[in-house]
């Protein structure tokens, strides 16, 4: 069952709300995700809302330039992204969510390296 969470980067400049659940938890082995090393939670379009810090986000794209990866320009934390495999959804960094122990989440492996 989905729940609403508040999330933020390390310095707090970027804050957001998201409606998601742990059944969507995944890790990815693509070139960028394996370097981020985070558990990601998925959400449908409209269930993510940036509360503040739009001016503090940097967007990073590479390769096909379909995926959009967002990072805080101050502390460098990856907060969320729109994946290449389905740009109508987004994934958030579970480690950014208040009250969530991202190390205890069981996550499926997504083979992004081979898509």
Task: Tell me the pLDDT tens digit for each residue of 70-87.
Answer: 999 999 999 999 998 888
Across all residues in the chain, what is the average pLDDT?
Answer: 95
Closest CA to 42 of 9, 66, 19: 19
Asked if residue 99 belongs to a domain, the reply is yes
pLDDT at 49: 96
Asked if residue 33 belongs to a domain, the reply is yes
pLDDT band at 6 (very low <50, low <70, confident <90, very high): very high
Asked if residue 51 belongs to a domain, the reply is yes
Asked if residue 87 belongs to a domain, the reply is yes
Asked if residue 79 belongs to a domain, the reply is yes
The residue length of the chain stands at: 115
pLDDT at 22: 95
The answer to whether the CB of 80 falls within 8 A of the CB of 8 is no
Read off the CATH number of the domain in which 93 is found: 2.170.150.70
pLDDT at 85: 86
Asked if residue 115 belongs to a domain, the reply is no
| Structure-derived torsion over alpha carbons of residues 12, 15, 19, 20, reported in degrees to the nearest 10 | -40
Per the structure, the complete domain to which residue 75 belongs is given by 3-108
Asked if residue 113 belongs to a domain, the reply is no
Asked if residue 45 belongs to a domain, the reply is yes
pLDDT band at 55 (very low <50, low <70, confident <90, very high): very high
Mean pLDDT of 98-108: 96
In the chain, how many domains are there?
1
């Amino acid at each position: 069952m989905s729940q609403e969470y508040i999330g933020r980067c390390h310095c707090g400049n970027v804050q957001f709300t998201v409606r998601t659940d742990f059944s969507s938890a995944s890790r990815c082995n693509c070139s960028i995700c394996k370097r981020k090393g985070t558990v990601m939670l998925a959400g449908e379009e409209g269930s993510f809302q940036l509360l503040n810090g739009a001016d503090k986000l940097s967007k990073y794209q590479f390769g096909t330039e379909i995926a959009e990866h967002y990072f805080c320009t101050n502390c460098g934390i990856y907060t969320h992204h729109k994946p290449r495999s389905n740009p109508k959804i987004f994934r958030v960094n579970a480690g950014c969510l208040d009250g969530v122990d991202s190390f205890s989440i069981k996550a499926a492996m997504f083979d992004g390296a081979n898509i």
